[in-house]
Every structure is written in C-alpha cells, then in structure tokens.
Amino acid sequence: MTGQAPDAAAIERLARAALARIPEPFATHLADVVLIVEEFADEETLAEMGIEDPLALTGQYRGRPVGAKSSFDAMSFPDEIYLYRMPILYEWCETGVEFEALINNVVVHEVGHHFGLSDDDIHALEDSAE
C-alpha cells in the first residue's frame, strides 16, 4: 500500500479477491453474498451487538447461516458481509499486520459466520491454518 490510507474501493477489491480465493464447496454458497464497505457500523448495529467502541467492529455478517437455510424458506434478503473501513484502518495501524492479510482475515471470519461457525470455531480454524 502507498502512504495514503486505503479507500473503500481498495478494501472492496481486496475483499473480493479474498472471497475469490475461497475454495469449493464453500465458494458455491458465497455467489449471492453482497459485500458492503462502510466507514463505521451504525449506532443501531453497535448497540445490538453490545459494542460501545465503534473501532472495535471491523466486519459483520448479516443473514442466515448456510446450515439454517431451507428450500421451504420464504423469499428473503441476500446475505451481506459488511467491512468497516475506519476500524480496519485502526487495527492495521495498531497491529502492523500487512493490510491485505488483515482484510483476508476479516473476510474469512465473516465467511465463517455465513457457514454458521461460532467465533471460537473460526479462531480455532485460523489457528490451525497457521
């Protein structure tokens, strides 16, 4: 990355590249997921999640996990993965983690929620992959 903070478009490009690297059979279930980059999570989202510091939330999955879906479900909104630019930039500056690796980590974490994994399960998978 250059000396400028990455903008939303740069984060979206990296996030789409991270999604594209996810292998089958998972990739098939990600085809309709909508990717959204915002500066921060809104106040309602933070309150709903019990988070006081808006810099504490780098990403969020919204939707029904794959395992909870049924062909009998009524029509629903598409699943969404939100990435929050300012908290991601803050974490990048605080940790020194390479920016692309940080975006990849956030995307993989949110994809884990898409598949119904808990935070503990996602962290265990991340740890085992190191």
Model confidence pLDDT, tens digit, residues 71-97: 555 666 788 999 999 999 999 999 999
What pLDDT is recorded for position 73?
A: 57
Cα diameter, the chain: 51
What pLDDT is recorded for position 124?
A: 66
Residues in the chain: 130
What pLDDT is recorded for position 68?
A: 55
Q: What is the dihedral of CA 105, 106, 109, 111, to 10 degrees?
A: -110
pTM for the whole thing? 0.82
Looking from the CA of 2 toward its CB, the CA atoms found within 13 Å total 4
Q: What is the CATH number of domain 8-128?
A: 3.30.2010.20
Domain extent listing, the chain: 8-128
